[in-house]
Amino acid sequence: MVAEASFVVHIPATIYQEMVEHVSAGYPNETCGALGGVDERAVKHYPTANAAERPDDFSIIGSADLLRIYDDISKYDGDLIYYHSHPITEAYPSLRDIEHAKHNGYLYIIFSHRHHPDLPYARVFKIDLQGQVTEGEISIDE
Ligand SMILES: [Zn+2]
């Protein structure tokens, strides 16, 4: 029996392709970016630099990029969906990811390059204030 996904994030195939290219270009470092979402449907892609001190170990969007993205997303009353890649580990939130997510409230899309040189794959999660992780489903729409 397959459990119903608790939520679904819809991503147009063109945007998903851009995300895969962005995280692949950053490999073997962690790479990050954001999507602007309306009703859990991605409408815009914001690839960014990774501002973490050690990009091989963590990823974070710099404050200037974040302000620019927030400003744009507010124009269409969207939500920020955060995404980043794990070069080696599973596409699942690390303890550090969970600590950050608890405070920022973003949906988290995580790519994994575990099967490199095969293309990275992605999973999506909601992380609540207690750090409880719930997985959703990514629907890649034409
Ligand atoms: Zn992570």
Cα of 76 vs centre of ligand 1, distance in Å, is 28
Cα of 54 vs centre of ligand 1, distance in Å, is 13
Tell whether 79 is covered by a domain.
Answer: yes
Tell whether 1 is covered by a domain.
Answer: no
Tell whether 3 is covered by a domain.
Answer: no
Tell whether 2 is covered by a domain.
Answer: no
Tell whether 126 is covered by a domain.
Answer: yes
CATH of the domain at 98: 3.40.140.10
Q: Which amino acid is at 33?
A: G
Parent domain of 68: 8-141
Largest CA distance in the chain: 46
Cα of 72 vs centre of ligand 1, distance in Å, is 25
How do residues 81-93 score in pLDDT, each as one tens digit?
Answer: 999 999 999 999 9
Cα of 103 vs centre of ligand 1, distance in Å, is 15
Would you place residue 2 in the very low, low, confident or very high pLDDT band (cuts 50, 70, 90)?
A: low
Question: Based on the structure, what is the number of domains in the chain?
Answer: 1
How do residues 25-79 score in pLDDT, each as one tens digit?
Answer: 999 999 999 999 999 999 999 999 999 999 999 999 999 999 999 999 999 999 9
Cα of 85 vs centre of ligand 1, distance in Å, is 7
The DSSP secondary structure of 117-134, one letter per residue, reads TSPPEEEEEEE-TT--EE
Q: Percent of the chain, pLDDT > 90?
A: 94
Q: What is the pLDDT of residue 62?
A: 97
